């Protein structure tokens, strides 16, 4: 990190502050990691005095640092730095050979396992997504591949053996072991909670791999202008490493760590171990790591072929059976307990039935608890019209992590056509935040999402509202809006320099914006000028 030894004046810029009282400025004065002045260049230079460093912004646009409302930092680092990557068009019968190519390049073997992905099962013929194609190349080495939703996967015979999954293993609640036609023999494909047995025997990567993955992911986030991120699957090893890095050298962003509750796949631990981690959460907090957050899954993935999201059945008006992972009563009781403890829950809901039940449970919680913590529904891909007003009424954050503007996957057409009610929620006064859901995306880049926010038909928002969703709204959602999220005197000096003025250029090019420099707490943590 580049630590300024003296006050610094950033002048001659087009600074969009996200401060309603002063939306635009020319210059910023930074002292001791805080914003000491915002205004005209001449005034800032006069206030700076002798010995102040001067940075000429050259007329370029500056805005607050980005708050990524949904990321998986460690998992992204492991995926993109150490696991095997299958090509997007890989077919089931080729998975084994493709993995051999990866191993030949010395990537993908973690603690004796071969881990990789992400395969799209909808591309293969019936019966092709089968462990037999992995067994041909890896008869004695355990192999696990993530599917493209990251909720399901494919294991070879050795991995199933280690996990104790056989033809006699029953399907767990909330999951399914895919069977071969005409028998109970597992194909190796595991859906949702059927992966838990496997993840409970999957060894942790070597410490140097863990640390290397985390450091790469943190540096990558800074490269894309992220100065705050909600980690949506904080594990014990990740929390330990984040705290250690922060105490020894200072993180280059703030992490709001959400510990999974009763979710052994993304939590990478048993339910009992995750409960203990939530109880011990404050042990892992530091200046830039906040731990009063939990992550809950109310349903699964809205992607085919398994479609584990909980939707309202249009024929009956009732939730599709077997898709909701918790009852209204169970969720309300948990929310009330967390509210009293000052814990914010981020609840994964991709289907409209899941959103509806969680809003009902939050209404019950508000009636039963004296606390006032902000609660949050994650993804919000689809919401019933009658439920939209409840977000603002109950002070519930609508976090949306829309990957729908990246690529041209036909599986995401429904999201483009009728998903993500950004505009309606914003007009109702709802706090809307936006995240990448990195690792689903290859990079934590929110500028394509920003372009999508203002090009979403009737659900579009204006550019100023979209930028606020990426900055100040995210800070408010985690209780940090007095510290960060806008460029105001007294706040942390967290801002980014762009290669273009988003307000001047074509809307169609907003997604191509690049971050030239990222400043966090007054330190230049990324710079390609």
In degrees and rounded to multiples of 5, residue 308 shows phi and psi of -95, 10
310-326 average pLDDT score: 96
- Decide if 77 contacts 213 (C-beta within 8 A): yes
Return the closest-CA partner of residue 65 out of 254, 191, 220, 232.
Answer: 254
Q: Cα 99 vs. chain centroid, distance in angstroms?
A: 27
Longest CA–CA separation in the chain, Å = 82
CA distance 343 to 364: 17
pLDDT over 90 (residue 213): yes
DSSP state of 508: G
Domains of the chain: residue spans and CATH: 1-65+486-529 (2.30.40.10), 68-72+205-484 (3.20.20.140), 83-199 (3.10.310.70)
Place of tokens 């057409």: 413
Mean pLDDT score across all residues of the chain: 95
Structure-token pair, residue 85 = 């990557």
pLDDT over 60 (residue 484): yes
Q: pLDDT tens digits for 238-252?
A: 999 999 999 999 999
Q: Is 202 exposed, middle or buried (0-12, 13-18, 19+ CB in 10 A)?
A: buried
pLDDT for the residue 1? 39
pLDDT for the residue 102? 85
Task: Kindly report the number of other CB atoms within 10 A of residue 47's CB atom.
Answer: 16
The DSSP bridge partners found for residue 515 are 498
Q: pLDDT tens digits for 445-474?
A: 999 999 999 999 999 999 999 999 999 999
pLDDT for the residue 38? 98
What is the pairing mode between strands 53-56 and 8-11? parallel
pLDDT for the residue 407? 65
Which distant-in-sequence residues (6+ apart) come within 8 Å of 333 by Cβ?
none
**Angle, vertex CA 376, rays to CA 382 and CA 225, nearest 5:** 95
Q: pLDDT tens digits for 259-309?
A: 999 999 999 999 999 999 999 999 999 999 999 999 999 999 999 999 999
Q: pLDDT tens digits for 98-146?
A: 998 888 776 777 889 999 999 999 999 999 999 999 999 999 999 999 9
**Secondary structure of residue 115 in the 3-state scheme:** strand
DSSP 22-72: --EESEEEEETTEEEEEE-HHHHHHHH-TT-EEEE-TT-EEEEPEEEEEE-
């Amino acid at each position: 990190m580049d630590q300024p030894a003296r006050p610094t004046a950033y002048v001659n810029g087009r600074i969009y502050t996200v401060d309603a009282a002063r939306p635009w400025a020319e210059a910023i004065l930074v002292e001791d990691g805080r914003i000491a002045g915002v205004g005209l260049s001449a005034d800032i230079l006069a206030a700076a005095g002798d010995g102040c460093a001067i940075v000429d912004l050259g007329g370029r646009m500056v805005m607050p640092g980005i708050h990524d409302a949904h990321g998986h930092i460690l998992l992204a680092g492991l995926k993109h730095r150490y696991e095997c990557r299958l090509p997007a068009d890989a077919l089931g019968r080729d998975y084994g050979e493709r993995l051999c190519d990866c191993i030949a390049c010395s990537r993908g073997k973690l603690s004796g396992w071969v881990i990789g992905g992400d395969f799209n099962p909808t591309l293969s013929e019936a019966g092709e997504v089968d462990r037999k194609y992995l067994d041909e190349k890896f008869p004695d080495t355990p192999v696990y591949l993530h599917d493209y939703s990251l909720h399901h996967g494919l294991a070879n015979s050795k991995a199933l053996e280690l996990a104790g999954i056989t033809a006699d293993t029953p399907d767990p609640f909330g999951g399914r072991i895919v069977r071969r036609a005409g028998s109970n023999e597992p194909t190796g494909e595991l859906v949702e909670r059927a992966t838990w047995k496997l993840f409970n025997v999957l060894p942790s990567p070597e410490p140097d791999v863990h640390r290397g993955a985390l450091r790469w992911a943190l540096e990558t986030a800074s490269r894309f202008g992220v100065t705050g991120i909600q980690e949506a699957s904080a594990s014990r090893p990740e929390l330990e490493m984040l705290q250690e890095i922060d105490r020894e050298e200072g993180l280059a962003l703030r992490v709001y760590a959400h510990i999974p509750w009763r979710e052994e796949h993304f939590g990478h631990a048993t339910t009992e171990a995750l409960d203990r981690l939530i109880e011990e959460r404050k042990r892992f907090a530091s200046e830039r790591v906040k731990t009063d957050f939990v992550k809950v899954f109310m349903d699964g993935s809205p992607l085919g072929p398994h479609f584990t999201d909980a939707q309202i059945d249009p024929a009956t008006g009732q939730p599709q059976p077997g898709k909701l992972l918790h009852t209204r009563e169970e969720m309300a009781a948990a929310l009330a307990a967390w509210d009293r403890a000052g814990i914010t829950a981020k609840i994964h809901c991709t289907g409209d039935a899941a959103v509806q039940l969680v809003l009902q449970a939050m209404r019950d919680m508000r009636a039963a608890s004296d606390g006032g913590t902000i609660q949050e529904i994650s993804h919000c891909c689809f919401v019933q019209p009658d439920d939209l007003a409840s977000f603002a009424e109950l002070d519930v954050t609508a976090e949306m992590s829309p990957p729908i503007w990246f690529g041209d996957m036909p599986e995401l057409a429904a999201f483009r056509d009728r998903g993500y009610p950004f505009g309606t929620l914003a007009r109702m006064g709802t706090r809307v935040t936006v995240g990448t859901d990195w690792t689903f995306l290859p990079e934590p880049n929110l500028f394509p999402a920003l372009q999508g926010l203002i090009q979403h038909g009737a659900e579009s928002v204006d550019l100023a509202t979209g930028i606020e969703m990426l900055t100040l709204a995210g800070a408010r959602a985690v209780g940090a809006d007095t510290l960060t999220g806008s460029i105001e005197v007294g706040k942390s000096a967290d801002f980014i320099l762009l290669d273009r003025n988003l307000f001047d250029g074509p809307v169609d090019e907003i997604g191509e914006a690049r971050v030239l420099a990222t400043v966090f707490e007054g330190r230049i943590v990324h710079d390609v000028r």
